[in-house]
Structure 1
Amino acid sequence: MAEPLALILALILLALGVLKWRTGFMAQRPADYSGTVPAADIRQHLSGPLHCEGVIYGPTGRVTSRFTAQMEGRWNGNRGTLDEHFHYAGGNRQDRQWRLTLGNDGTIRAEADDLIGTGTGQQEGASVHLRYRIRLPEHAGGWALDVTDWMYVMENGTIINRSQFRKFGIKVAELVATMRQAGA
């Protein structure tokens, strides 16, 4: 009799976990932000010199890293690059470049040297959503992680970026950052 009870309890806990997943961060869809303003346009909001500050939370929810970054976005029509120069509180530095293509329907195709394959996304209303698989640098473990990015454009043009990093579907890190035009 203890086995069926344990099975029922396990199914309830699994169902609660799935329900939480379907109602949380991962359940958002670009259409949820349709009509919100100001409308995100990565050609405008990720253009020119940008300043970024952020924190990375580890699996326990504690801050494991803090960083600032100088970025520069350049666009030629619907194709652009975003150069990123990160400075971490521990002294590490990292340079990255995104290669972005914006479709006429708001779809986004994203490439970078540390991505495994191509990232995809959508801008809708005041939001930008990206999903991709990234390989972390060796000093950060070298893991391949699934990433979900949500960026929200604020009234003053500042972007709030929230990203979750998952391994085998389990959240192992979260990033929260702001991005704004340099000098703003």
Structure 2
Amino acid sequence: MRLVLAGLLAGMAVLAGCTGKPALTDAAMTERDFALERFFDGRLVARGQFQDVFGTVRRSFTVQIAGDWDGERLRLVEDFVYEDGSTEQRVWTLRKVGPVTADQAWEGTAPGVIGVAKGQEKGDRFNWRYTIDLPVPSAGGETGVTRVGFDDWMWLQDERHLFNRAYMKRWGVDVGDVSISFEKR
């Protein structure tokens, strides 16, 4: 029985790892150029949800975002409110790295982020990768911390709308994804 269960779990892990994911080499969906500092400068609201690898929605949230681009750094103050009423704030500091080009590279930090987050703009999209210690509520009402890796993809839909899908891994295995819709105010 253990052998069958181990085989089933191994098969599920392989299938979860085979899911298609975006790439910067994918064809652009539009002629728009994503300028991260332009889109996130000002006030935004976002709504999203986390789904596990089986497709079950585990958590939904709303985020109020205040962005400030000063010409050198982009500061994002994200205030999360979850469906259970709990709240969380994350403050990002991002900077352009390397020469200014259409395919701009970025780096960023935030409390809980392990090391430096790295991102790349290309055409109408932005890819952001980082590892973070996320606060996660338990069934007993206490909050623990789980370390996960994010492979975050954003697509500029128009001047006021952005769609985001973030793929999450823990110990190198897919654990779910987050879908978020952003709107500039």
Shorter-normalised TM range: 0.7 to 0.9
Q: Secondary structure at the match of 1:29?
A: coil
Q: Computing the radius of gyration over CA atoms, which structure comes out larger, 1 or 2?
A: 1
State the identity %.
25
Q: Does 1:99 align with 2:93?
A: yes
2-side partners of 1:51 and 1:138: how far apart?
Answer: 22
Q: C-alpha separation between the residues in 1 aligned to 2:173 and 2:86?
A: 26
Match of residue 147, structure 2, among 144, 149, 165: 144
The answer for the alignment partner of 1:9 in structure 2 is: none
SS at match of 2:18: helix
The equivalent residue for 1:129 is 127
SS of structure 2 residue aligned to 1:53: strand
Q: Which amino acid aligns with 1:39?
A: D
Decide which structure has greater strand share: 2
Match among 53, 67, 88 for residue 82 of structure 2: 88
Counterpart-to-counterpart distance in 2, 1:113 and 1:152: 25
Post-superposition shift, 1:19?
8.7
Q: Which residue does the alignment assign to 1:68?
A: 62
Deviation at 1:36, TM superposition (A): 3.8
TM-score (norm 1): 0.82
Amino acid at match of 1:132: Y
Give the structure-2-normalised TM-score. 0.81
User: In the TM superposition, what whole-angstrom CA distance separates every residue of 1:9-68 from its partner, at most 9, and x where no partner exists?
Assistant: xxxx79x859935xx11xx33242558422100111111000100111123211011111
Q: How many residues align?
A: 167
Q: Which residue of 1 aligns with 2:116?
A: 118
Aligned to 2:48: 54
Corresponding residue number in structure 2 for 1:32: 26
- Which letter does structure 2 place at the counterpart of 1:166? K
RMSD, aligned CA: 2.4
Q: Which has the higher helix share?
A: 1
